[in-house]
Chain A
């Protein structure tokens, strides 16, 4: 007993040493890290503090919703909090459905959603928004990349119809004539295509479905509104990260996820043959061009978009996702209103939109951004 206690003491002493050592080390590390950022990042943070208008922003701002825009939110929140002292913005990426539910229960100041509010959700929002209703403000766009792993094939080109057939497991071999026709000169192997989709419900799946059923209506006959995977075949993995990992691991695989997952996992992405003069690669810039082709279907203060998935515009990557921030146009809670306006103002400002590309998101095209920029200050 005695002996073991002694050992225990010694062990904890060693533990304490290790911990304090680690603290010292990490302290050094962070010192080294902060200095360069102060040096070259100083300009941006200085200009940030001068451009971000805090205007009465204070206290805590709660928000929740789409996980697809979580990384964009994190960036904005970081910059916003750095500029406005004493403000805390807390965005929980719990999913669009959950975010809208929380918004309509009055638990959060705004929600993030991959799709615009449905009619019944707007009706429900009128209970919370005294004298107003929930409006959709598009702020974050992003390309949905089709990632693949195929030894020896670098620049794979596909079109909507072949994509639909691949994900519907109608095309099962990589050297299928339909794929070969789009990729003259590529050495396509005679291997099975392993198509991966999301096993959880997601706005990413929904947008892919909308794209396929618009651009390849003959080959994709499933419910375009479904957030869960509607087709019977293929394999599934949990979350975008799960799909990306699966594609990275399995030879001959293909899957879809937000562009950032392709970048961080170094997964090759498919260029889409939209009918434009050249196949379009999945980049944030090309996604913005496609969003610019969208029509505003919302009225008044509502800027819900109807995306043109079948666009043939030069350099427009049609497979995009737009996430909205949903707030009340009138009847926001008085205590959070200034913070809400200041934060959304920053998010849609030129500067806020510019940082999006850092996280592989696409900024809103000028016309739509201008529209939203005019609406945010009128929120009350």
Chain B
């Protein structure tokens, strides 16, 4: 379970009073911080170096090409399809997961009787412990056949929206199914963080609202949600980060193809991580460089997402005690 650290003001010890323990500990923690930076820098350097090797040989535009054939002569590969698939499946996942996660978090923190809240929180944690390959197998063997019906229904009644128009036959190994699976996978992380934030809402706020005659829903709307907003956002960003990078589950469920289609129910598309997992084993040296180049793009997208989350949280610092 996530633990919350009390938000104490950083204690400043007078300089002269440093004891060996202090020095060792500060050295260790500084070392950890530096290690992290070094690792990140090493990853970035490695990715960039190998990516440059590959992209300089690419005979087409790396960002707009709808094909992946680095073994060809001349090599042709581009990330357009992968970027599209990654972003779309993650958006579907967020649209499904965030409202449900907030609902679960509110239920656990404000509605459920204590006896039910604890086991429920535990079960949500359990979801996070399931390895992604298990989600993938479950998705491919169990979920996909059962989603055929839902797909038909969406096609019949919401086909006019274009995105739910199913234009080709085939089982539900599409970006929409991947989105649903990703939603289940990111549910626990979003639920946990938002729940912790909701529990941080000062009792005084809630009691003040109750004293004004607010119902429970009004209390939540007037005091809990505004207080928790930045927490919800940062939790969603954490979930989004996971959805963007999910590999095995997507690789097992999706029926990939190098086409961009707005019809989410048609099989096809692909994501960065899925493409790397599928191609890496048989790829030759150059093919691997090309895959690493696509990995660099995913790295950049993930950095952007995290940066955006930090920025949003930073803007609303006055509220978020435990949000980070």
Contacts and interface: CB of A to CB of B under 8 A. Distances in A.
Contact of B251 (A192, A225, A238, A246): A238
A331 interface: no
Interface string B250-293: 01101111110000000100000000011101111101000000
Contact of B171 (A100, A228, A233, A246): A246
B202 interface: no
A238 B252 contact: yes
Interface stretch (A18-26, A47-55, A197-205, A287-295): A197-205
Interface in A179-238: 192, 194, 196, 199-203, 223, 225-228, 230, 232-238
B226 interface: no
B71, B258, B287 interface centre (most CB from chain A within 10 Å): B71
B254 A95 contact: no
A256 B285 CA distance: 27
B247 to A, nearest CB: 11
A199 B255 contact: yes
Contacts of B69: 223, 226, 228, 230
A194 B168 CA distance: 10
Contact of A98 (B141, B145, B169, B281): B281
Contact of A232 (B252, B257, B278): B257
B9 interface: no
Contacts of A249: 145, 171
Contacts of A234: 257
Contact of B282 (A95, A230, A246): A95
Interface in B160-198: 169-171, 173
B16 interface: no
B282 A227 contact: yes
B50 to A, nearest CB: 14
A154 B172 CA distance: 27
Contacts of A380: none
Interface string B137-157: 000110001000000000000
B227 interface: no
A233 B282 CA distance: 22
A266 B259 CA distance: 33
Nearest to A233: B257
Contact of B170 (A67, A194, A226, A242): A194
A227, A228, A233, A245 interface centre (most CB from chain B within 10 Å): A228
A250 B171 contact: yes
B285 A101 contact: yes
Contacts of B254: 199, 236
A236 B256 contact: yes
Interface in A84-99: 94-98
B70 to A, nearest CB: 10
Nearest to B69: A226
B133 to A, nearest CB: 11
A200 B281 contact: yes
A230, A235, A242, A250 interface centre (most CB from chain B within 10 Å): A235
Given A249-B171, A250-B171, A200 B282 contact: yes
Interface residues of B, number: 29
A255 to B, nearest CB: 11
B62 interface: no
A225 B75 CA distance: 13
A201 B279 contact: yes
A258 to B, nearest CB: 15
A226 B281 contact: no
What band does the interface of chain A fall in when counting residues whose beta carbon is under 8 Å from B?
20 to 34
B72 interface: yes
Interface string B39-75: 0000000000000000000000000000011011000
B187 to A, nearest CB: 24
Nearest to B169: A192
Nearest to B251: A238
B265 to A, nearest CB: 13
Given A194-B169, A199-B255, A245 B141 contact: yes
Contacts of A233: 257
B283 A201 contact: yes
A101 B289 CA distance: 14
Interface in A245-286: 245-246, 249-250
Nearest to B173: A235
B71 A225 contact: yes
Interface string A52-86: 00000000000000010000000000000000000
A63 to B, nearest CB: 16
B257 A228 contact: no
Interface string A100-112: 1100000000000
B257 A238 contact: no
Contacts of A226: 69, 71-72
A201 B281 contact: yes
Contacts of A201: 278-279, 281-283
Interface string B71-83: 1100000000000
A245 B285 CA distance: 31
Contact of B281 (A95, A194, A196, A232): A95
A54 B284 CA distance: 35
A67 B254 CA distance: 22
8 contacts: A100-B284, A192-B169, A196-B255, A199-B254, A226-B72, A228-B69, A235-B173, A245-B141
Given A97-B287, A200-B251, A235-B171, 11 more contacts: A196-B255, A200-B277, A226-B72, A227-B282, A228-B68, A232-B259, A238-B252, A242-B252, A245-B140, A245-B141, A249-B171
Interface of B: 68-69, 71-72, 140-141, 145, 169-171, 173, 251-252, 254-259, 267, 277-279, 281-285, 287
The 7 A-B residue pairs with the shortest CB-CB distance in the complex, in nearest-first order: A95-B281, A201-B282, A200-B278, A235-B255, A236-B255, A97-B282, A192-B169
